[in-house]
Structure 1
Amino acid sequence: MLSKSGRGISLLRSAILVAVAALIATLFTAPVAQAADGQITGLAGKCVDVAGASNANGTPVQLYDCNGSNAQRWSNSGDGTLRALGKCLDVAGNSTADGALVHLWDCTGGANQRWTVSGANDIVNPQANKCLDVQERNTANGTRLQIWSCSGQSNQKWNAPSSGGNPSPGGFVVSEAQFNQMFPGRNSFYTYAGLTAALSAYPAFANTGSDTVKRQEAAAFLANVSHETGGLVHIVEQNTANYPHYCDSSQWYGCPAGQAAYYGRGPIQLSWNFNYKAAGDALGIDLLNNPWLVQNDAAVAWKTGLWYWNTQNGPGTMTPHNAMVNQAGFGQTIRSINGSLECDGRNPAQVQSRINNYQSFTQILGVTPGGNLYC
């Protein structure tokens, strides 16, 4: 039986152990503090801060008590960068190694200045596939920030604006600013509002898997769309001589809108009477009798593109949606859309055009393109 003094020592030890356990739990599981006025808050409720409020190249970026100064005001310009004092958050030396420090630097558009804010509150540099990290989980003012393999620990959790500007009301991973950046010369028919209105028809699109996968799928869809339409310039197929060729009269329903009515339209250039019939049936729209809706209604046009993307294998073995979600690679989306004419060496220039679009759009969205780009 413990003496009175022994019980006192035991109780003191227990209290110390409880306090230590609470501290450890806080370090690993504490919720991320809410940010205000452009602040990025993290460990111990402290802010991402530019040392000395200097905008000189190479100025350290550190953890510091939040004070509302300009050294702690970060903006997201919509191009994947995080900016303070007119310069960008930059991984020193373009490094991808664990422990590479971050600092402030002139904005160059380089991959070492691209950041994605995930739904799990990670700030990720896609080039390195590593997270913004507080060294040694140290909460002291002046602790340097670095990149490190993502671990899910609290020293890598931040409250910050979503990467790429304001998302759409429906949560689409591509902001309107990014959409405009991707399609600077687009036809006014192809509205961002039309695209976001169409998303409800296929809610799994760009909304399945990790934040990276969601952005990769959105980039893949828009890259193929860009190729099909000349950068969202063309609403209808340009070669009118082809128009009479898209009526398969062997189908029991025939071509009630006319022999030459089923030419390519919309973002994926929907063509053939059987595709108009299938898309219309799936969407609850009579496109067999009124195929012109695809060239007159932006939301309908986008829905036909999403219908093909999410439900049709085409000449491939999987839908483009499944190709991206299951990480089969961008090349399989090309195969599903036009593989019989482009893949396996049939038209490498067309394949490369689609890949170039995809790489450009993933850069805008701040994600890596992944592997298996070719078909």
Structure 2
Amino acid sequence: MAAAMAVIAPTAASQAEVSAQACTYTNWVQGQWYTAGSIVKFENAYYIAEHDNPGYSPTVSTWYWDPYNCNGGGGGGGTCTYTDWVQGQWYTAGSIVRFEGSFYIAEHDNPGYSPTVSTWYWDPYNCNGGGGGGGGGGAILTEAQFNQMFPSRNSFYTYSGLTAAMASFPAFAGTGSDTVKKQEIAAALANFSHETGGLVHVEEINKNNDLCDESRPYGCPRGTYAYYGRGPIQLSWNFNYYSAGQHLGLDLLNNPGWVASDAAISWKTALWYWNTQTGPGTMTPHNAMVNGAGFGETIRSINGSLECNGGNPAQVQSRVSKYQQFVGILGVPAGANLYC
């Protein structure tokens, strides 16, 4: 179910606000252990650890590191309100707490579970982003603009679900200039719109596809027909459910239906693909937008084997037209290299 963005009202004694000044970072050191969420400075640029790693170079792989905008705490601006975590206290979805010097947002209601126990209940949060999630989604994309983009959307696809998911991917719509951030979120939503008919379809219409690679060691425990498309990116195939679940700390291989029943999880699987997968392309859609390759390369990374290089120009045009509409709503240019 969708995670409501209700925040526990803090007491006067416990209320605190974090101003969006320069974010906290350390200079990168080769061989030093870094946990996910660590921010480092390397060769005059900033990077955030996407996964724990033993000091790999930030420019080696976007699986371990992503470029990060360290001005204004990841581009979010503003402040967020939080309370210090208290064991046994009831927290509703959307509550923000501080625990052992880090911030977390409740993905689901819970009776005071430790924020480090499970990403089902808590996710790391960028408290310099003003509660917008990720790179300050609330500032880059307002709820009114989201509703304008998707006037006929399924009520499952909530704005709060999107912003909650963005908290898990702070580099998304949080890297580069405000123009680049808005171009990236427009590009992602344009592709998601294309995949779902305007955020209308939560599940694939034709579910009679055998999307199971049984050669994988984990197989298809929910049957060979259980891994059809779901969510904004229409996550498909057992290996994608497995890998997305591994990244998010969720057993999606055994519970693929969660992608169609929990808005935050559904959005997270879409952002997982966008930020970490190259698909049939040569770069992630995230890198395509922040490194200037252009919108066309996001198409290639999502469905390039079927649509690009003349494969299906009508489908490519549909994606491009939607992207042009969305950057218009956000008030930024579309940029170059729109086609693949």
Aligned residue identity for 1:279 = A
1:21-40 matches, cutoff 5 A: none
The match for 2:197 is 230
Whole-angstrom CA distance in 2 between matches of 1:168 and 1:346: 41
Q: State the SS of the aligned residue for 1:217.
A: helix
The match for 1:181 is 148
Residue 185 of structure 1 deviates from its aligned partner by: 0.1
The match for 2:188 is 221
Whole-angstrom CA distance in 2 between matches of 1:200 and 1:369: 25
The match for 1:256 is 221
Asked if 1:210 is matched to 2:149, the reply is no
* Maintained 8 Å contact 1:316/1:339: yes
Aligned residue identity for 1:233 = V
Residue 259 of structure 1 deviates from its aligned partner by: 1.5
The match for 1:359 is 324
Whole-angstrom CA distance in 2 between matches of 1:258 and 1:341: 26
Asked if 1:201 is matched to 2:168, the reply is yes
Aligned residues between the structures: 210
Whole-angstrom CA distance in 1 between matches of 2:288 and 2:206: 30
* Maintained 8 Å contact 1:262/1:271: yes
Greater fraction helix: 1
* Maintained 8 Å contact 2:172/2:275: yes
The match for 1:341 is 306
**1:90-129 Cα deviation digits (max 9, x unpaired):** xxxxxxxxxxxxxxxxxxxxxxxxxxxxx8x9xxxxxxxx
1:1-375 matches, cutoff 5 A: 169-170=132-133, 171-172=136-137, 173-242=140-209, 245-375=210-340
Whole-angstrom CA distance in 2 between matches of 1:314 and 1:249: 19
* Maintained 8 Å contact 1:168/1:175: no
* Maintained 8 Å contact 2:208/2:225: no
**1:191-249 Cα deviation digits (max 9, x unpaired):** 0000000011110000000010000000000000000000000000001222xx11111
Larger radius of gyration: 1
Residue 169 of structure 1 deviates from its aligned partner by: 3.6
CA RMSD of aligned residues (A): 1.6
* Maintained 8 Å contact 1:168/1:174: no
* Maintained 8 Å contact 1:183/1:232: yes
Give aligned-pair identity as a percent. Answer: 72
**1:2-38 Cα deviation digits (max 9, x unpaired):** xxxxxxxxxxxxxxxxxxxxxxxxxxxxxxxxxxxxx
* Maintained 8 Å contact 1:174/1:215: yes
Gaps of 5+ in 1: 1-118, 122-166
Whole-angstrom CA distance in 1 between matches of 2:310 and 2:230: 27
Whole-angstrom CA distance in 2 between matches of 1:169 and 1:332: 27
Aligned residue identity for 2:215 = S
Aligned residue identity for 1:194 = G
Whole-angstrom CA distance in 1 between matches of 2:131 and 2:318: 28
| TM-score of the superposed pair, with normalisation by structure 1 | 0.55
Q: State the SS of the aligned residue for 1:241.
A: coil
**1:279-321 Cα deviation digits (max 9, x unpaired):** 0000000000100000000000000000000000000000000
Residue 168 of structure 1 deviates from its aligned partner by: 6.1
Residue 258 of structure 1 deviates from its aligned partner by: 1.4
Aligned residue identity for 1:262 = Y
* Maintained 8 Å contact 2:132/2:167: no
Whole-angstrom CA distance in 2 between matches of 1:308 and 1:279: 8
The match for 1:127 is none
Whole-angstrom CA distance in 2 between matches of 1:169 and 1:266: 21
Whole-angstrom CA distance in 2 between matches of 1:207 and 1:169: 11
Whole-angstrom CA distance in 1 between matches of 2:260 and 2:207: 15
Residue 260 of structure 1 deviates from its aligned partner by: 1.0
Whole-angstrom CA distance in 2 between matches of 1:371 and 1:253: 42
Whole-angstrom CA distance in 1 between matches of 2:309 and 2:212: 28
**1:302-342 Cα deviation digits (max 9, x unpaired):** 00000000000000000000000001000000000000000
